[in-house]
Amino acid sequence: MTDMTATLETVSTLLGERARFEGWLRSLEAKRSTMPAHVVDRVRGDYGERLTGVLRELGTHVSALAAGAETLAARDATLGRDADARQDARAEAELRHAVGEYDDARWSALQAEHDGVLATLAEERRVLAGELATVRGLLAQAEDAQRVVDAGGPLSVAPVPLVAAPTPVPSDAPVDAAPLAQVTADAAADALAGTDDEPAPLPTHDLVTPPSVAAVSVAAVSELPPRATPPGAAPIEVASRTPAPAPAVAPRVATPFGSPAAPEAAVAAASPPSARPVDARKTLKCQECGTMNLPSEWYCEQCGAELAVF
């Protein structure tokens, strides 16, 4: 562990030197615009060589750091197994005490012993975890230094020239109104186009309720001539051949086309009144079943027999 401690100190010192040389190179590039270029390049080359030497030396410690990290990881694994074994031993002693093999005094002594060892192992593993994290961090930086050297050194990339800041536009400079007008026109077009997302109102159609079928049949039958009664048959009793008044046609219903309420409204308007008083209009008697029918009917509404002389 003494060798590892020395390696860690050396690597930490080299990392400090690397940071110092890299800071000098950044400051040097900031002064490039105010100093002669050949002087800046000469100083930059000097810093670059010194930084390259530090990086090479860091690369020589990669193997030692990697070995140290493996050693620490193995030690931590061993401590973990010891802690598990100690936990099992403590649990066994507690179980023997619970069943009555160990008395309270012996259990107390074993409990204190196991707990002390477990606390020591936990502290050792905590310290070891910190050391392992430090070694792995230094190893990563040493490997990065080695990659820089293998890529050609820290000065393999040419310095980036400073870019002058853009010239501010005077506040009183004339403003071209054409782009602004175009933007305004585009915004207006977008606003109008946005209305396409909303559903357009559906066209409105007038639904005309058809006249009652009963009214049409009555009007048609009323124009027929009276039936002739064959000889030998009982005359058909007809009280009146005046057609029944047709129900009033429902008014037009203006409903948006496609509306859910349109079919119901049309059906409701087309349907005749549900309540029709039974009066003396059914004066035609069926000779088969005796059911009274309207004088305009040709067939019995009860049995379907023809309302004629049989």
| pLDDT digits 0-9 by tens, 110-146 | 999 999 999 999 999 999 999 999 999 999 999 999 9
What pLDDT does residue 281 have? Answer: 73
C-alpha distances in Å from residue 184, one per residue of 146, 187, 195: 59, 5, 17
pLDDT at 154 over 90: no
Per the confidence metrics, is the pTM higher than 0.85? no
Q: Identify the pLDDT of residue 112.
A: 96
pLDDT at 236: 47
- Which of the two residues, 39 and 210, has the higher pLDDT score? 39
pLDDT of the residue at 74: 96
Q: At what angle do helices 37-59 and 2-30 cross, to 10 degrees?
A: 160
Q: Would you kindly state where each structural domain of the chain is located, as residue ranges?
A: 2-150, 209-222+233-293
Length of the chain: 310
Q: How far apart are CA 66 and CA 236, in angstroms?
A: 125
| Higher pLDDT among residues 168 and 206, named by residue | 168
pLDDT of residue 296: 80
Per DSSP, the residues of 137-200 read: HHHHHHHHHHHHHHTT-TTSSPPPPPPPPPPPPPTTSPPPHHHHHHHHHHHHHHHHHHGGGSPP
Work out the average pLDDT over 66-87: 96
User: What is the Cα gyration radius of the chain?
Assistant: 55
pLDDT at 158: 52
Percent of the chain with pLDDT over 70: 58
Q: List pLDDT tens digits, range 20-76.
A: 999 999 999 998 889 999 999 999 999 999 999 999 999 999 999 999 999 999 999
Q: Which residue from 308, 294, 202, 215 is spatially nearest to 257, judged by alpha carbons?
A: 202
pLDDT digit string, tens, across residues 232-264: 544 444 444 444 555 554 444 444 444 444 444
Using pLDDT thresholds of 50, 70 and 90, give the confidence band for residue 164. very low
Q: Inform me whether the pLDDT recorded for 168 exceeds 90.
A: no
- In the block, which residue shows the tokens 């008697």? 285
pLDDT band at 101 (very low <50, low <70, confident <90, very high): very high
Distance CA 287, CA 293 (A): 11
HEC profile for 115-142? HHHHHHHHHHHHHHHHHHHHHHHHHHHH
Core vs surface per residue 228-248: b (16+ CB within 10 A) or e: eeeeeeeebeeeeeebbeeee
pLDDT exceeds cutoff 60 at 227? no
Task: Give the helix ranges, DSSP H, for the chain.
Answer: 2-30, 37-59, 62-99, 104-150, 177-194, 213-222, 261-270
Please state, in angstroms and as integers, the Cα–Cα distance from residue 188 to each residue in 34, 160, 180, following that order: 52, 46, 12
| 139 burial level (CB within 10 Å; 0-12, 13-18, 19+) | buried
Q: Could you give the C-alpha distances from 218 to 222, 282, 302, in angstroms and in order?
A: 6, 13, 19
Q: Extract the tokens encoding 296.
A: 């305009």
